Structure formats: C-alpha cells, structure tokens
Chains A and B, each alone.
Chain A
Amino acid sequence: MSSLLEIQDLHVWFDLEDGGELHAVKGVDLLLDPGERLGLVGESGCGKTTTALAVMGLLPPSASVSGRILLDGKEILAGGVETIRPHRWVDLAIVFQGAMNALNPVQTVGSQIVEAIELHGLGKGLEARNQTGALLESVGIPAKRAERFPHELSGGMRQRAAIAMALSCNPKVLIADEPTTALDVMVQAQILELLDALCRDFGLALILVTHDLPVVAQVCDRGAVMYAGEIVERGSVETLYHTPRHPYTRLLFEATPDLGDTGEVVSIPGAPPRLDRPIAGCPFQPRCDRAFEPCPTIHPGLKMVGDGHAAACHLNDVPAVTSL
C-alpha cells in the first residue's frame, strides 16, 4: 500500500528581524497511511507545529520551505503555497488548540460551515444546510445548535464545531494541533474519543501534534518525537514506550508522571539549543545522560533500528549497546 501522505526532507527557515535565520525544521521525513493515527510529539519550539503548518501551506511570508510533500504519490509542494492551496481543506485539514480563533465570532457556527461547503462547490442552499446538519451530528453537536454563535458554546462544543468545519470538504488527512490542551480532562476524553471514531468510521488519517506523550500513547498507532527541529525517533507507540532507542524519548517518558506508577519523576536538565545558529554534533548531546565521544561533533542521522523503528543516536551504532 502506498502512503497517503509522504513528507521528505522538509526544511523550514524563518527570516529574523536582525537579518539572521532560524532553522525551525531540519530535514523531517514522515509517512502517513490511510486511516493511520500518527502522533507528532515534542516540547515547545521543537518544530512540530511548524511542520504541520508547512504541510498545510499556512506558514507566514517570513518562512522559506524546501523538501517534498507527496499526497497520494503526487508532489504538492513543488510550486510552494500555490500548489498546496487546491488541496487545503479538500484533502488536508487542520484544527488548532484555541477553537475560538478558528471560528468567526459574529457568524453562527452553521452558517460558517455552509459557507465553506458552498465555497468549495460541494453543495448549495438547502443541500449545503442539510450537509452541515449531518456534519454537526457526526461530531456530536445536535443539528439545531447550528444557529448558535461560537461564544454560546462551551469549550468542548467549540472544538467539536471546529472539527466539523475542518471536515466540511471530506479531507483524507486531519491535522490536530494540541486539540485538547486548553480543555478539561473529561472534555479532552470526549474529543479524543471523537477523533478516534472519525478515524475508525470514516478512514480519516490523523496527525496529532502535541506535547503530551500519554495522549499519543492512548490515541495513536505510531509516534514521531521531535527535538530542535528534527525527528529524533519514530516507531509504534508501544516501541517508543517499551524500547526507546533515543535517550530523549526515554527521558521524556521519565519526566511524565503517571497514575499507574508513582516512582521517581525526573526532569531533563538544561534547555533546547537555539535554532538561529549552527549546531555541531547531536542537538540533544548537552542534556543527554548517555553522551559519549562522537556526540559533540558528529551529527547522528535518523537510522532504522528495527521494524518501522528509527532513531537518531550514536549509541545505536555501538554493538555492545542493546538497550538505553
């Protein structure tokens, strides 16, 4: 089966006001199969949201992008934003953390979705309104609430409305960027259950962008861990938790408290490197508890370490090392 979405060697630079450049995404490779749920995980500034925005063609003008993005095997990044635009919302859709920002506050939720459907020529008038009702029902909003304004809905309902709007053109891929970060844990569970059902019932592929490892562990099939603009490890969510092959992945799990394990929770000393200057060697090396000779000078590439499992760490080249 060929991949639905393939990202190859994606780079993003931002022009800085002082004339410098910030290399926010550095050679990201990702594959997404139809119906698959992929978690893109990392801390603030790691490039996960920038990667998502690049795929959507939604980066600001100060950004330059290189690499290839293939949708159903067809290159869509070749002409920059212009060649992505026809696929935006139609094949690729995104929802953000603050659903309020995605919705127009002075227009009812229903009329915004009707507008999206009509704009893309998928229906008109009554037909578009019926589609909107069905769409709202499919995300758990009673169709009669289409007449409500965004501020009349609760945070959870607004996020559902934003998801309905993102799905209005039947996309194949939904990117959800921290979709539950601002929500309470019970409402988070409701939204995650909804995303899970949309993938299962409609074959939607999901890229879940989040800082929250347990959310990825519970929702996704595979995960990709980003650090300083690079993917440092990717594999099935079971592999990432039980047999990580990059110290950052292991340390991130150890820094995350868990209800089932009241053992020691350990922070990772130091802070991520600045991305506006070149980095020698491994970007995680200054914070790593397993750094050795090659790490400060030689940059480790992402290499396969198992079935569908890749990591960017020199330790994996040392024959004696079997686990981290």
Chain B
Amino acid sequence: MSTNGRRPLLEVEELVVRYPISRSFVGSHARRPQRTVHAVDGVTLTVEGGELLALVGESGCGKTTTAQAVLRLVDTEAGSIRFEGRDITGLGARELRPIRRRMQLVYQDPYESLDPRLRVRATVEEPLLVHGLGGSKADREERVREALVKAELSPPELFLDRYPHELSGGQRQRVAIAAGLVLEPRLLVADEPVSMLDVSVRAGILGLLEGLKRQGLGILMITHDLSTAARFADRIAVMYLGRIVEEGPADEIVENAQHPYTRALLSVVPRRDPRDRRQPQILQGETPDAIAIPPGCRFHPRCPLVIEDCKAIDPSLERPAAARTPGHRAACIRV
C-alpha cells in the first residue's frame, strides 16, 4: 500500500508456481499421479517506484522463480501479479508485449547475456528494434547514447563500437543494463547482478542501480548475499522453501531479525573484521526438497526454537512482538 493512495508499481499477491516432476517410464505407465514441486507457495510482496526490494534466500528457496513469474516468464498456478495497477497474471503474449518493455531483467552473467558478435551499439539498439520503437536511425542512435550515459558508460563514443570481449566484466554488465534502460522501464528485476563480478567492481554496479532507483525506478533484486542486501536495499524479504518468512526495512531485518531462520542466516555471514568473529548458529542439514514440504511450519525440522505446535500450525506473516517498525513481519508463532 502506498502512503499517498497510489497503488505500488508492482504488487504480487499469494503467488503460487509449481513445476511438474517428470515421471519415470514405469510411473507414467502405471498412471501414478503427476507430482509437482511447489517452487513458490504463496508469496506476497510489493515494490514501489524508487524502491529497492532485495529477495534473499538460499538456492532452491524460490527467489528466482518468483522473479520469473513477475516477468511472466513462467506460468503461475494461483495468485495475482499487478504491474502499474493492472492485473497482468492472465495476459496473453500480445497484450504483454507493451508491458514487458516497462519491466526489464538484468541477468547474472554479463559474459553470457551479451552476444559476442554484436558491437555495443547493436546490443543496446536491438531492444528498440524488437519493440518497434525509436523512430529513425538517428533517433535510435540518440536513445542508445542516452542509455549508455545512464549506465555510466560515458562518453558513449568510447564504447559504441566495441565488442563484448573488449570490455571488462563490470563494463559488460553496464552494457546489459543499458540494453534494458533503452526501453525506459519502470521496474528492473536484477537476478544476482554482481555475483559473477570481481569484488572491486561490484560496488560500482550496485551504486549504479542505487542511482537509477533514486531517479524513480523500482528494483527487485534477487540475491543470496545478505551483506549486499543490507547495504543497498530499502527493504529485505527473506525466503525459505517457497515462502517469505520475514520481511521489513533493511536496517530492521539486519539489526532486529525475529524469525529463527533469518537470525541463523545473519549469524553465518562472514564479517570483514577478524575481531568480529562470532559464534555462528549453524543449522544442520540442508533445505529440504520442495517436493516434500514439511507440515506445519516448513522450517520446523531445522528450527532451534521448535515446539510441538510448530509441527501443526502453518504460520502467516504477522508483526512480531519485538518489531520496531510497522513494516516488519515474520512468519513464526514463537515471535
């Protein structure tokens, strides 16, 4: 909910995404029922214009599937996705096209997302051609230059005629971002945008996203790195096994986490200062398979605070007693 009565840029409600598991030869002949993985199992989130929401979690938690569903790259089983106030959940390919332009994806790996045979000019111009935008050749050139400047590749003349192999990893990621910005989107979905880059250039890309956000872009960033989320996100949502288990303003989540999973995750993040070594609260085992989601609270088999009720009650996201800000919610009956 937006404070000024406007609807948020992106509203996802009770999103469910399932993937079928391929049956074995015997299974399909015996007509055993098709089994499914609940990759996303009831996710609700919002992203405002000018806001960066970090969706954090371990592999398999459903954060990337959530992002793909928002972009309508995978089908949703239930729930709704509203973008700029319009329900886009059931739209067909033709109706989606003008909407897709305004929500752009930044991929993880700038070494794979760019076509090695295309110069920077052609890479950034291509989305305009695909969407039939940009008018004359001269107009398109102008928009390409503007997009490069926005991605902090300036002066653009220095980059327009280069091939990806002539660029550093950080520059490649900026070109990929420019190719999204050229369509003047309102929402960027960035899936691990810096995890393939060297530490010394990561801050530059994250700073760029921060600057774009300040200019009004909404950003949904998928990351496994809580330190990055803590520094660059306005809000953090922590996912576990297809659900958001805790969300709130970034400072609040880092300093006052309530859900035992968030607390454990925070405790194992290595710190820069060796004197800041703390006793990590290491959870044993690994995240269970989303094929066999535990009953009750899905975190209960690994939870240090588990009580009998946790095995039966599936907790909803509610304001914890110790919350210090209104936007803080956690899905745990013990807090």
Residue pair A185, B276 in contact (C-beta under 8 Å): no
Whether A255 contacts B59 by the Cβ 8 Å rule is: no
B224-A238 in contact (CB<8A): no
CB distance from B286 to the nearest CB of A (A): 5
Tell me whether B202 and A255 are in contact (CB under 8 A).
Answer: yes
The chain B residue with its CB closest to the CB of A44 is: B198
B204 within 8 A of A: yes
- As a 0/1 sequence over residues 268 to 308 of chain B, the CB contacts with chain A under 8 angstroms (1 = contact) are 11111111110010111011000000000000000000000
Q: Of residues B59, B270, B282, which shows the largest number of chain A Cβ atoms within 10 Å of its Cβ?
A: B270
Q: Give A223's nearest chain B residue, CB to CB.
A: B274
Within the complex, the shortest CB–CB distance from A178 to chain B, in Å, comes to 13
| Chain B residues within 8 Å of A256, by CB | 199, 227, 272
Q: Are B271 and A267 in contact (CB under 8 A)?
A: no
Q: Count of B residues near A, CB < 8 Å?
A: 43
Those of A207-263 within 8 Å (CB) of chain B: 211-215, 217-218, 237-238, 241-242, 251-253, 255-262
Judging by beta carbons under 8 Å apart, are B282 and A217 in contact? no
Contact of B228 with A257 in the complex, beta carbons under 8 Å:
yes
The CA-CA distance from A192 to B228 in the complex, in Å, is 21
A147 at the interface (CB under 8 A from B): no
A268 interfacial contact with B, CB 8 Å: yes
Given known A-B contacts A156-B286, A186-B282, A260 and B58 have beta carbons under 8 A apart: no
A45, closest chain B residue (CB): B198
State whether B203 touches A258 (Cβ < 8 A): no
Contact between B203 and A211, CB atoms less than 8 A apart? no
What residues make up the interface of A, taking CB atoms closer than 8 Å to B?
43-44, 154, 156, 184-190, 192-193, 211-215, 217-218, 237-238, 241-242, 251-253, 255-262, 265-269, 271
B266 proximal to A (CB < 8 A): yes
Q: Which of A186, A187, A215, A252 contacts B200 (CB 8 A)?
A: A252
Q: Does the CB pair A186–B268 fall under 8 Å?
A: yes
In whole angstroms, how far apart are the Cα atoms of A237 and B274 in the complex? 6
Extra 12 A-B pairs, beta carbons < 8 Å, given A265-B203, A267-B203: A211-B199, A214-B227, A214-B270, A215-B270, A242-B273, A252-B199, A257-B225, A258-B271, A260-B276, A267-B201, A268-B201, A271-B201
Q: Which residues of B contact A271 (CB under 8 A)?
A: 168, 201
The 10 closest A-B pairs by CB, nearest first: A214-B270, A267-B204, A189-B268, A268-B200, A267-B203, A184-B58, A43-B198, A257-B227, A257-B231, A237-B274
| In the complex, chain B residues whose CB is within 8 Å of the CB of A184 | 58-59, 224, 287
Indicate if B37 sits at the interface (CB-CB under 8 A).
no
**Could you list 13 A-B pairs, sorted by A, with CB under 8 Å?**
A185-B226, A211-B199, A212-B270, A251-B200, A256-B272, A257-B225, A258-B271, A258-B273, A259-B230, A262-B230, A265-B231, A267-B204, A268-B200
CB of A259 within 8 A of CB of B282, answer no
* Across-interface contacts of B85 in A (CB, < 8 A): none
A-B contact count (CB 8 A): 122
Scoring A185, A187, A242, A269 by chain B CB atoms within 10 A of each residue's CB, the highest score goes to A185
A156: B residues at CB distance < 8 A: 286
Cα A237 to Cα B230 with chains together (Å): 24
Please name all residues of chain B whose beta carbon is closer than 8 Å to the beta carbon of A259 when the two chains form the complex. Answer: 226-227, 230, 254, 266, 269, 271
Indicate whether B265 reaches chain A with its CB closer than 8 angstroms.
yes
Cα(A45)–Cα(B1), bound, Å: 47
- Please indicate the chain A residues that have their CB under 8 angstroms from the CB of B225 in the complex: 185, 257
Q: Smallest CB-CB separation from A193: which chain B residue? A: B282
CA of A21 to CA of B274 in the docked complex: distance in angstroms? 39
Q: Is the C-beta of B264 less than 8 angstroms from some C-beta in chain A?
A: yes
User: Can you name the residue of chain B whose Cβ is closest to the Cβ of A46?
Assistant: B198
Most chain B C-beta atoms within 10 Å of own C-beta, residue among A190, A193, A238, A266: A190
CA distance A42 to B118 in the complex (A): 31
Structural contact, A217 and B274, CB atoms closer than 8 A: yes
Residues of chain B within 8 A of A237, CB atoms compared: 274
User: How far apart are the CA atoms of A271 and B270 in the complex, in Å?
Assistant: 26
B199-A255 in contact (CB<8A): yes
Chain B residues near A186: list those with CB within 8 A: 58, 264-265, 268, 282-283, 286
Q: Are B224 and A185 in contact (CB under 8 A)?
A: yes
Residues of B near A193 (CB, < 8 A) are: 280, 282
Closest partner residue, chain B, to A188 (CB atom):
B268
